[in-house]
Amino acid sequence: MKNQLFTPSVTPPEQQTVALWFVFRRDRLLVLEQDQDIRVPRWQTFSESGLPMIRQHFLGTWGKHPCYSVETVEQGNPPTGFNFISLRALTLELSHDLFTLAGRAIQILQWDRDHQFCGRCGHAMQALPTERAKRCPSCALVSYPRISPAVIMRITRGDEILLSRSAHFAPDMYSVQAGFVEAGETLEETVIREVQEEVGIQVDNLHYFGSQPWPFPHSLMIAFTADYVSGEITLDQDELEDAQWFQATARLPKLPSPMSIARHLIEDFLAEHR
């Protein structure tokens, strides 16, 4: 399917038409493998799935397709031909647009599930009709889907790139560094702090590279490039297991998924230096 514009909305179309359904059983998406392609179901109504529904959201329109997200129960067989597959395992299988939509879909479901009660007074929250938000009828607290900004940075020293690995990475995989933005920080301050904390070095010459929504569980990755200035690699043992300078022309370790912005940062450096 071609890349198309997505228009978010909370108001479903008046006429029922065939829509794309992003159906989740926890973190697993309902997909159909067809002609070497992975698709999401197209139905007029969710009842065609034969699955019970816990919650449903209209997400908006992708091209001319209305899109819905649904959480279903743990038990019961998927419809014939379909399977529930972990969204992480689908990063490469789904097209860029479908993966982004699925990421949007699961985040809305998780926000709905995790914000059923007011965090301030404990009253049951109510959905607002006009925007994607919930309001407490008792104390008026409003809750929007949470997004957690995180920076990701590529540090280079001439033709060398700093790659590191944490203990929970796949064996032999190395990547660039990342970390969550704290309240009150600029993105640039987060980059400087995270690099100092995780690998103990100083960087400057920060440049914005790009961004990527990352639904595990609700990050927005903001990517930067930066130059090494000073310091020796000193690992934060809680976060990282190893960090090394790798020469662009040398043999590299296993790299992150080709659709991650981490990989784009690395490939961009390699293209420049090889």
Ligand X SMILES: NC(=O)C1=CN([C@@H]2O[C@H](COP(=O)(O)OP(=O)(O)OC[C@H]3O[C@@H](n4cnc5c(N)ncnc54)[C@H](O)[C@@H]3O)[C@@H](O)[C@H]2O)C=CC1
Residues that bind ligand X (CB under 6 A): 148, 150, 152, 178-180, 212, 214, 216, 219, 221, 239, 256, 260-262
CA distances (Å), origin 25, targets 32, 33, 47, 84? 15, 17, 16, 7
Q: Is residue 123 involved in binding Zn ion (CB under 5 A)?
A: yes
**Residue 221 binds: one of Zn ion, Mg ion, ligand X, none (C-beta under 5 to 8 A by kind):** ligand X
Among ligand X, Mg ion, Zn ion, none, partner that 260 touches (CB below 5 to 8 angstroms by kind)? ligand X
Q: Which is nearer to ligand X, 66 or 215 (CB)?
A: 215
Known binding positions for a divalent metal cation = 178, 194, 198, 239
Nearer residue to Zn ion within complex by CB, 18 or 127: 127
Type of residue found at 40: V
Residue from the set 145, 149, 179, 200 that interacts with Mg ion by CB under 5 A: 179
Q: Which is nearer to ligand X, 144 or 216 (CB)?
A: 216
Q: Which helix (H) or strand (E) holds 84?
A: strand 82-86
The one of ligand X, Mg ion, Zn ion, none whose footprint includes residue 240, by CB under 5 to 8 A per kind, is none
Q: Does 120 bind Zn ion (CB under 5 A)?
A: yes
Q: Is the peptide bond before 217 cis (omega within 30 degrees of 0)?
A: yes
Residue 179's H or E segment, with its range, is strand 177-180
DSSP SS3 for 103: helix
Q: Tell me whether residue 118 or residue 153 sits nearer to Zn ion (CB atom).
A: 118
Return d(Cα 183, Cα 194) in angstroms, integer: 14
Helices (H), the chain: 96-114, 187-199, 261-273
Bridge partners, residue 164, by sequence: 175, 243
Task: In angstroms, give the least distance from the CB of 178 to ligand X.
Answer: 4
Whichever of 52 and 217 has its CB closer to ligand X, that residue is: 217
Q: How many residues bind Zn ion (CB under 5 A)?
A: 8
Q: Which is nearer to ligand X, 42 or 254 (CB)?
A: 254
The answer to whether 145 and 110 are in contact (CB under 8 A) is no
Segment contacting Zn ion by CB under 5 A, of 81-89, 111-119, 148-156, 170-178: 111-119
Q: Is 120 helix (H, G, I), strand (E, B) or coil?
A: coil
φ, ψ (nearest 5 deg) of residue 100 = -65, -40
- Considering only residues 129 to 158 of the shown chain, the ones binding Zn ion according to CB under 5 A are 136, 138-139, 141
Measured CA to CA, the distance from residue 175 to residue 225 in angstroms comes to 14
3-state secondary structure of 113: helix
Binding stretches for Zn ion (CB under 5 A): 118, 120-121, 123, 136, 138-139, 141
Binding stretches for Mg ion (CB under 5 A): 179
